Structure 1
Amino acid sequence: MHINPATWSQIVFGLILIGGLYLFISEKLRVDVTAMLILGALVITGLLDGQQALSGFSSEPAIIVAAVFVISGSLGTTGISERIGRWIEHASGNSESRTIAVVMPLVSLLAAFTHHVMVTAMMLPLLLRHARSRHLPASRLLMPMSLAASLGTTLTLFSAPAFLLANDMLQRSGNEGLGIFSVTPIGIALVVIGTGYMLLTRWLLPKRSGQQNDDTYLRLDRYRTELVVVKDGHWCTRPFSELEKALGQRFRLLAWLRDGKHRDDLRSNSPLLAGDVLLVEAAADELLSLHDDTGLDLNAIARFGGLASSEDGHTQLVQAVVAPGSEFIGRSIRELDFARRFHTVIAGLWRRDEQMAERLSDARLQEGDLLVLWGNPSRFSELATHHGFLLLVPFAGEAKRRLRAPLALIILGATILAAVTEFLPPQLAFLFGALAMVVTRCIDVEQAYRSIDTRIFVMIAGVIPLGIAMEQTGTAALLAGGLAHLIAHWPPLAILLVVFSLAALLTQVMSDAATTALLGPISIAMAQALGLPPAPFVVCTALGAVVAFLTPIGHHGNLLILGPGQYRFSDFMRIGLPLTALIALVSAWLARWLWMHGPLLPFG
């Protein structure tokens, strides 16, 4: 039997698609590796040429996603995300319903401009602490927060890769693309409805206190250290209140020494003078920020750094735990004389119960104390074998650049304004915004690269050619024609609900980007076959891929809260199934109103 080339191409594409779906669903390989395997198969079989295969890496969605990761990272390094998170916690009060009413809209707004998983990860410890301090069940707070982070991705076009892919598909098919805020009316409605739904049905949520093992994590925010004001540094003669503002709420002054004497008369508005010693407690990020600050120095390093530095000048901070039975137990840091004995400086100390001498050098070490050591890496390799330490690992902190927070907000606003007004193409606006964050040192180059989730970037670049191949081989038109034949006489609202539902089901086993890349071309082809505008169909496909809150595996944010909230699979189904049905109806209704001139009100 003779098979024409077009049919043969569709068969080959179908086999590649089935293999790719199997790997995406089974997760036998990482999603980015699977995307690259699909890309390679499309090229080897001749379904795509080299230029088409690599077009995803230079595409608008891939560039915007990478840039948004950098901008999002900048909001984290400048302390903006943390400050917003703490403000949310403060505004939530003691009421369960008030906490939900405050957290959900503000988390949604935050997720509209940063990555939703980062927002969920940032809010998780804050809400757990808030739940414990207010005696609220954590399980009643974490699921609404995770839902809000997902809903927030519908507020702007660049919040979720799925919408960027949808816009790219519309433009490639010769249709008008979407604007930055084209989906915002739908997003606002979903955030309002989602918040109201969780307030009315929160009694369906389980009442569990959540895991308590994050207490140690939160208490690691208190490292004891000493600072000295550097002569002619930028903090010299500036009021202490400015330093407090720059370092945030997790920085606490214990004592202020001037000329070696305690000064109880010095207040927040008192100026810092060269040689002043501040006895403080600070979080890991703030401790690293202080170490990198040219206007301040860690007092121990200023005094003994010459004994620990090396000719190459390369130094670093590491953490070491005092082992049980260690010879260091019961001896003060002054007695141990670490700098001369080990050519290493003890720059900070964390202890579980906080009871220790005021001066760091007078602290007598105990089993389990966590020491922050400063010195040359070559010295640490021999120190790691010492029986007095339980472990030796790199210091877990990232320097915050809080003084650049206003600048980061200005750059974010300018980036969005340039994209919305079309002063620059969106991909260039966000690329230049990310570059501005690096140039102005809101984030350093290494942190910028680390903030980019390369798996998502590579996967997006890999699945875009999948959509191109689906269209070129006629597979999209074939599948769309079959689906259109079944639902040709259905009203548009019902058809929009169908495409939303297909995406909602598939996204439970695939990422939102992969789901949109697979179903988007089919939605566009089906709309064209029915003589309808394709925008509402591809938007509903992307919405179904992004906000289907059916299972804990459907979104990465759900996986983050699954353990801490002590949730079961059935908890998500009980809450998510009716909510997803409501979201589907609202999404389809508003998409029809926005792009097909349907009625806004049911009885209008």
Structure 2
Amino acid sequence: MWITLALTVVALYLLVREKLPMDLVGIGIIVVLAVSGVLDPAHAVSGFANRAVITVGALFIVGEGILKTGAVSFLARRIIDMSRGTTLGILVLMTVFVGTVSMFLNNTPVVIVFIPLLLGIASEKRIFPSKILIPLSYASILGGSCTLIGTSTNILVSTASESHGMPPIAMFELMKLGLILFAIGGIYLATIGQRLLPERHSLTTDAPGGKIREFVTEVEVLAGSPKIGTSIGEVFGDAGARPLSIIRGEQMFWPPFDEHVIDEGDVLILQGSLNSIAELETREGIRILPDIKDETLRFEPKTMSFVELVVSPNSGLVGSPVAEIGLREKADLVPIAIMRHGRHIRGKISDIRLEPGDVLLAFGSESGIREVARGGDFLLMEGIHEAYVNRAKAPIAGLILLGVMITLSTGMIPMEIASLAGALLMIMTGCLKAKQAYEAINWPILLLVAGMLALGEALESTGAAALLGQPLVAVGVAFGPWIALSALYLATSIVTAVLSNNATAVLLVPVALAIANALGVDSRPFVITIAFAASAAFATPLGYQTNLLVYGPGGYRFSDFLKVGGPLTLILWAVASLMIPLFWKF
């Protein structure tokens, strides 16, 4: 038991502090459980054959097929046009549409489709994007909670329930409460939420007021530069870019720089707006990001453009140093600066390892920008750059999705087979290429889930789950199962705020079952509680991928999610605590 508990603590620490990529954490859990003898090897790796893992992976492909045919982006544009450019109109129509689509598709790509469209109309209508991007993420989360396939969390919870002799969650079983929570969340976002959301610049909009957003870059003073021997203030006083530190050999100097003069080979870490950093490109004797750029490569206004790229949560470049991401080789695009919200970047920018939500400032040709748009590593913050979509296949993709939904609703065939059949048909009918299908799968999430499934089994088999559930059992004994369920929802929503929703669900289902068994009541309400609470990741940008996606483009700070999402979490906690036992009896 103690090995399992210690491993749980270590895994949570690594995930919360992002000490290791989530896929390595998942694999590490499996290895430790097998080597320590807590689980035999067959059970340790059984998560890879789990029905939920297979279903989630296949549905990633089905959802990508819908998106690649352009059906969602086409409808999204019509919805935006119908709003007539008002903040409230955009918010209401977007919430209804995104929530509805997210009931049947993975919500991460749905949000990716909407972000450039919303940024475009925000720039055109002079609306603050910060007023509509958090609601975009929250609407997708609330909508996804309504159906079995709306979020992978529900599939994982359903499979866990079935493995313990309970009936699986039906396709629309969660909708009776999910729609109530969706409506309450939508009203909150349109009223109280709007007042709590900040009025702040985005990267690519020119909204009135607010503070200009700033990037961090580094420049090297070249041999023979006319800047050598001059003071920091003389060189950068009129550039609009502020020096944060100076790297000279093995030494690093911090402000104030009153007595410092520039020497050959100095590397300066600078912070400034897009325009101020772009202006540095024209200065003689300095080179931006010397570890990345070709010395002869300069920005050419006639043939090149600046572009801002947000690192996708699914990007294969997460964890890679900026100097090694290969944009220059792959797309003839040159990164020159980075922005990371909520954290002060120290040291050389080229050594910084990318994290989801980081924003890179780069320049290059239009063809290079289009090449990046076709990949899945970055989200472009300009709506004019779109990947190719095959609209002729949209009806076929829609019929395939409908077929998957019908088979899942009726239980005609097992859900993993129905999902695999849908993925296969997407490729065979040409809605999606095989390579695109592989790229659509979020492999790190699946590897983490496989590891968490093994950890969940270990928690249950060793009695650790019962031990972790004892405080809530004590609450239930003293105040009844209703209060124990409410406490479980709150505890789950706190964990999912710092851990991924999938990992939270897999980890806490055994605890929920242990609580129900100890209280001698039906475990169904407790399992349903995990399904809803694990997706209630509103209070931080860390618990849900869509929150990370809007973090950079919306110009948000970490505290904005707490300010807006915290009250929403508490409201939904109160409503769910009251209504879950009414719909699912103890």
Could you tell me the TM-score, scaled by structure 2's length? Answer: 0.69
1:161 aligns with one of 152, 158, 170: 152
Question: Which stretches in structure 2 are left out of the alignment for 5+ residues?
Answer: 208-280, 283-299, 307-327, 333-362, 375-386
Q: CA 1:367 to 1:163, structure 2 compared with 1: closer, same or farther past 3 Å? A: closer
The one-letter code sitting in structure 2 at the alignment partner of 1:31 is M
Number of residue pairs aligned between Structure 1 and Structure 2 = 428
1:141 paired to 2:132: yes
Alignment of 1:488-507 (within 5 A): 488-507=477-496
C-alpha deviation, 1:180, in angstroms: 1.6
Give 1:301's aligned residue.
none
Q: CA 1:548 to 1:368, structure 2 compared with 1: closer, same or farther past 3 Å? A: closer
1:575 paired to 2:564: yes
Give 2:184's aligned residue.
193
SS in 1 for 2:304: coil
2:203 aligns with one of 187, 197, 211: 211
Q: CA 1:172 to 1:406, structure 2 compared with 1: closer, same or farther past 3 Å? A: same
| In 2: Cα distance, 1:368 partner to 1:136 partner | 28
1:413 paired to 2:411: no
The one-letter code sitting in structure 1 at the alignment partner of 2:503 is A
| In 1: Cα distance, 2:552 partner to 2:34 partner | 42
1:368 paired to 2:304: yes
| In 2: Cα distance, 1:180 partner to 1:548 partner | 22
Q: CA 1:469 to 1:103, structure 2 compared with 1: closer, same or farther past 3 Å? A: same
| In 2: Cα distance, 1:462 partner to 1:199 partner | 39
Alignment of 1:259-278 (within 5 A): none
| In 1: Cα distance, 2:206 partner to 2:396 partner | 33
| In 2: Cα distance, 1:177 partner to 1:409 partner | 26
| In 1: Cα distance, 2:460 partner to 2:304 partner | 61
Encode CA deviations 1:68-120: one digit per residue, 9 max, x unaligned.
Answer: 11011101111112112212211222322121111111111111222222122
C-alpha deviation, 1:213, in angstroms: 6.3
Give 1:355's aligned residue.
none
1:437 paired to 2:435: no
The one-letter code sitting in structure 2 at the alignment partner of 1:395 is E
Contact map agreement 1:154 1:186 (CA 8 A) in 2: no
Give 1:182's aligned residue.
173
Encode CA deviations 1:269-317: one digit per residue, 9 max, x unaligned.
Answer: xxxxxxxxxxxxxxxxxxxxxxxxxxxxxxxxxxxxxxxxxxxxxxxxx
Give 1:53's aligned residue.
44
Contact map agreement 1:111 1:119 (CA 8 A) in 2: yes
Contact map agreement 1:47 1:469 (CA 8 A) in 2: yes
Which of structures 1 and 2 has the bigger CA Rg? 1
Encode CA deviations 1:195-236: one digit per residue, 9 max, x unaligned.
Answer: 111112112222224222699xxxxxxxxxxxxxxxxxxxxx
Give 1:112's aligned residue.
103
1:395 paired to 2:371: yes
SS in 1 for 2:479: coil
Give 1:511's aligned residue.
500
Give 1:376's aligned residue.
none
SS in 1 for 2:77: helix
C-alpha deviation, 1:30, in angstroms: 0.7
1:85 paired to 2:76: yes
| In 2: Cα distance, 1:41 partner to 1:443 partner | 38
| In 2: Cα distance, 1:367 partner to 1:163 partner | 48
| In 1: Cα distance, 2:22 partner to 2:417 partner | 27
2:93 aligns with one of 72, 94, 102: 102
Give 1:566's aligned residue.
555
Q: Percent identity?
A: 31
The one-letter code sitting in structure 1 at the alignment partner of 2:493 is A
Alignment of 1:195-594 (within 5 A): 195-201=186-192, 202-212=194-204, 366-368=302-304, 395-396=371-372, 397=374, 398-594=387-583
The one-letter code sitting in structure 1 at the alignment partner of 2:113 is M
| In 2: Cα distance, 1:475 partner to 1:75 partner | 42
Q: CA 1:421 to 1:27, structure 2 compared with 1: closer, same or farther past 3 Å? A: same
Give 2:312's aligned residue.
none
Encode CA deviations 1:291-349: one digit per residue, 9 max, x unaligned.
Answer: xxxxxxxxxxxxxxxxxxxxxxxxxxxxxxxxx99xxxxxxxxxxxxxxxxxxxxxxxx
The one-letter code sitting in structure 1 at the alignment partner of 2:166 is N
Alignment of 1:28-43 (within 5 A): 28-43=19-34
Question: After alignment, is 428-437 or 488-497 more displaced?
Answer: 488-497
Could you tell me the TM-score, scaled by structure 1's length? Answer: 0.67
The one-letter code sitting in structure 1 at the alignment partner of 2:304 is G
Contact map agreement 1:210 1:564 (CA 8 A) in 2: yes
| In 2: Cα distance, 1:194 partner to 1:95 partner | 20
Q: CA 1:214 to 1:78, structure 2 compared with 1: closer, same or farther past 3 Å? A: farther
| In 2: Cα distance, 1:120 partner to 1:26 partner | 25
| In 2: Cα distance, 1:12 partner to 1:390 partner | 52
SS in 2 for 1:443: coil
Q: CA 1:498 to 1:406, structure 2 compared with 1: closer, same or farther past 3 Å? A: same
C-alpha deviation, 1:130, in angstroms: 1.3
Q: CA 1:554 to 1:214, structure 2 compared with 1: closer, same or farther past 3 Å? A: farther
The one-letter code sitting in structure 1 at the alignment partner of 2:427 is V
| In 1: Cα distance, 2:543 partner to 2:305 partner | 41
